[in-house]
Amino acid sequence: MASGTDIPQTDSLPPPITERGIVGWVYANLFNSWYNTVLTFIFAAILVLTLWFGLGWIILESDWRVIATLGGNLIIGQYNIEKACPGQDCFWRPQVSLLLVSALLGMAWAISGDRVAKRIAIGVAVVSVAFAFLPYSLERMGLDVRLLLVANLPAVAAGWALARYTPLGSVRWIVILGVLAFLVTLVLLRGLPGVPGLQPVSVIYWGGLMLNLLLAVTGIALSLPIGIALALGRRSHLPVVKLLCVVFIEVFRGVPLITLLFMSQVLVPLAFPEDFPTNSLFRAGVVITLFSSAYMAENIRGGLQALHPGQAEAARALGLPGWQTTMLISMPQAIRNVIPAIVGQFISLFKDTTLVYIIGMLDVLEFGRAFIQGNVAEYLDGTPEFLLFIALVFWVFCYTMSYVSRRVEEHLGVGQR
């Protein structure tokens, strides 16, 4: 044997410390070049300072009396005041809607099997149950209403079981049941004349977070289809259709929502006779939806525009008719490409619902602000805390939306191919 070929048999060396474990991760992700090192230190300093002062203020100085006093009114506004619901407690009606939402979330969890759906469903149920045991609730709400809140937990379970063990467990049924739940919610909140226990409650008493959510859900559900139609119309080769869509989009995109809302309350009623039944909430909903649709149309148009024409051409070559090409080939891809923009618009829409304060509606932000201003002597100092609380509430909802959108994106492999 030639000794030259003899390689000493030793164990292979472990990778250097800079390549493995926590140190390796830190090195690769934080300090892999001089500018990354600098950036890391700068950002770390900013984070530490923010946390230091933020937490210091929250722990030492903050005063949450406004929220403790208003409690459930922030969620349902004036819905259960004596004037809205003379002679009875209407608190249970929004609670039943919440139960429906919980059940739907349970179904969504069972169908998608995704951890996000699971967390949302359980989160909603847990928050509802926890709300039933707050000092505010113990003081102001009857046992029945608190039981309804606790019932959210079984509702999620029921929804989950329904989707898992019955044929209702499909996307189609969730959409159908979702629309039904929305209708039931509207009827419940509005009430039915003549039905005992369901006496009508005028929409002027709808308020709080409930109002924001109602306006947002309606707007989201309607603005996407209207937006798709407008986007297609704007790309249409039919000049009249195109012109109408362009005018609609540009006008609604071109003016601030608050002026539109104002006009919807001041000018639009003038187009109807004096004794025509008017409903400010309905008009506000229409305006918010149309406003959002115009934006949606532009987002979708952006997605369509980024598609390679080869996609549509290939579909046409396969013999698909025009509308099928659009709806089955172009549109899904276009929407996939602009999911962040679309969800961003949904989030915008939800936040824009706070602008209804312009027309005197008591959404969650305005309810608190009006209360603070009307009782300025006692509660003025609580304004920053109240604003922080509102920020947190909106953040939770909007972040959930954007988190779901990111999961959907991952699911669809955006950026991976």
Partner 1 sequence: MITVFKWIFPAGLIIALSLAIIGCESGDTEAMQSEINDRDAMIAELEAEVKKMTEEMAAMPDPSGSMMMEETGSRLQTVQDRGKLVCASRNDVPGYGFLDDTGNNVGFDIDLCRAVAAAVLGDADAFEIRLISAAERGPTIQSGEVDLLVRTVTWTTSRDSQWGNYTQTMFYDGQGFLVRKDLGVSSALDLQGASVCVTQGTTTELNLQDFSNQNDLNIETLTFEDTDAVVAAYQSQQCDAFTNDRSQLAAISSGFEDRDAHVILPETISEEPLGPVVPHGDEQWYDIVKAVMAILIYSEAYSVTSDSVPSAATGDTKVDRLFGLEGSFGQDTLGLSQTVAQDVVGAVGNYGEIYNRNLGPGGINLPREGGRNALWADAGCMDCPRGGQIYSAPLR
Partner 2 sequence: MSRAPGSFLTGLAYYQGVPVWRHALIIQWALQIVSGIVVVVLVASFFANITNAIQDRNIPHGFGFLSREYQTPIGQHFLPYESSDSYLYAFGVAATNTIIVSIVGVILATALGIVVGVARISGNWLVSRTALVYVEFFRNVPLLVQLFFWFYIVLTLPPVRQGYVIVDKLYVNNAGISVPWPSPPSWDAALVWMAIALVSIIAGAVLHRILTRREELTGRPSYPLITGGATTVVAAAIGWLIISAASGNAPFGISVPAPHGTFGRIAGGFTISGGLMALLTGLVIYTSSFIAEIVRAGIQSVGRGQTEAARSLGLAPMAALRHITFPQALRVIIPPLISQCLNLTKNSSLAAAIGYADLTNVGKTMTQIAPAVSIYILLMVAYLAMSLTYSLIGNLYNRRIRLVGN
What residues numbered 313-372 form the site for partner 1, per CB under 8 A? Answer: 327-328, 331-332, 335-336, 358-362, 367, 369-372
d(CA 240, CA 375): 55
d(CA 356, CA 376): 22
Q: Does 130 bind partner 1 (CB under 8 A)?
A: no
Residue from 121, 230, 341, 349 that binds partner 1 (CB under 8 A)?
A: 230
Residue 84 exposure: Cα atoms within 13 Å on the Cβ side: 21
Rounded to a whole number of angstroms, the minimum distance from the CB of residue 286 to partner 1 is 5
C-alpha separations of 129 from 91, 119, 390, 393 in Å: 15, 15, 21, 17
Locate tokens 């722990």: which residue? 59
Q: Does 229 bind partner 1 (CB under 8 A)?
A: yes
Residue from 7, 270, 317, 392 that binds partner 1 (CB under 8 A)?
A: 270
Beta bridge partners of 208: 363
Cβ distance to partner 2 smaller for residue 36 or 166: 36
Cβ distance to partner 1 smaller for residue 154 or 178: 178
Cβ distance to partner 1 smaller for residue 30 or 339: 339
- Binding partner of 154, given partner 2, partner 1, none, CB within 5-8 angstroms per partner class: none
Cβ distance to partner 2 smaller for residue 127 or 186: 127
CB neighbours of 102 closer than 8 A, spacing ≥ 6?
121, 124, 125, 128, 152, 155, 156, 159
Beta bridge partners of 86: none
Residue 7: burial class (beta carbons within 10 Å; 0-12, 13-18, 19+): exposed
- Binding partner of 186, given partner 2, partner 1, none, CB within 5-8 angstroms per partner class: partner 1
Q: Does 129 bind partner 1 (CB under 8 A)?
A: no
Cβ distance to partner 2 smaller for residue 170 or 324: 324
Residue from 150, 153, 161, 286 that binds partner 1 (CB under 8 A)?
A: 286
Q: Does 194 bind partner 1 (CB under 8 A)?
A: no
Q: Does 405 bind partner 1 (CB under 8 A)?
A: no
Q: Does 191 bind partner 1 (CB under 8 A)?
A: no
d(CA 159, CA 164): 8
Rounded to a whole number of angstroms, the minimum distance from the CB of residue 330 to partner 2 is 11
At 222, list the tokens: 């309607």
Residue 54 exposure: Cα atoms within 13 Å on the Cβ side: 7
Q: Does 136 bind partner 1 (CB under 8 A)?
A: no
- Binding partner of 86, given partner 1, partner 2, none, CB within 5-8 angstroms per partner class: partner 1
Locate tokens 């609609």: which residue? 248
The residue range among 52-60, 123-131, 167-175, 388-396 that interacts with partner 1, by the rule CB under 8 A, is 167-175
- Binding partner of 251, given partner 2, partner 1, none, CB within 5-8 angstroms per partner class: partner 2
- Binding partner of 412, given partner 2, partner 1, none, CB within 5-8 angstroms per partner class: partner 1
CA dihedral of 101, 105, 108, 112, whole degrees rounded to 10: 160
Cβ distance to partner 1 smaller for residue 106 or 227: 227
Considering only residues 92-121, where is the footprint of partner 1 by CB under 8 A? none
Rounded to a whole number of angstroms, the minimum distance from the CB of residue 417 to partner 2 is 7
Cβ distance to partner 1 smaller for residue 102 or 292: 292
- Binding partner of 4, given partner 2, partner 1, none, CB within 5-8 angstroms per partner class: none
Which SS3 state, helix, strand or coil, does residue 363 take? strand
d(CA 239, CA 245): 10
Element of type H or E holding 336: helix 331-337
C-alpha separations of 103 from 119, 121, 177, 286 in Å: 14, 8, 10, 28
Cβ distance to partner 1 smaller for residue 98 or 214: 214
Rounded to a whole number of angstroms, the minimum distance from the CB of residue 71 to partner 2 is 20
- Binding partner of 374, given partner 1, partner 2, none, CB within 5-8 angstroms per partner class: partner 1
Q: Does 307 bind partner 1 (CB under 8 A)?
A: no
Cβ distance to partner 1 smaller for residue 151 or 355: 355
Q: Does 293 bind partner 1 (CB under 8 A)?
A: yes
Rounded to a whole number of angstroms, the minimum distance from the CB of residue 319 to partner 1 is 19
Tell me the one-letter amino acid at 403: Y
Q: DSSP string covering 20-88, please?
A: SHHHHHHHHHHSSSHHHHHHHHHHHHHHHHHHHHHHHHHHHT---HHHHHHTHHHHHBTTTSTTTSTTS
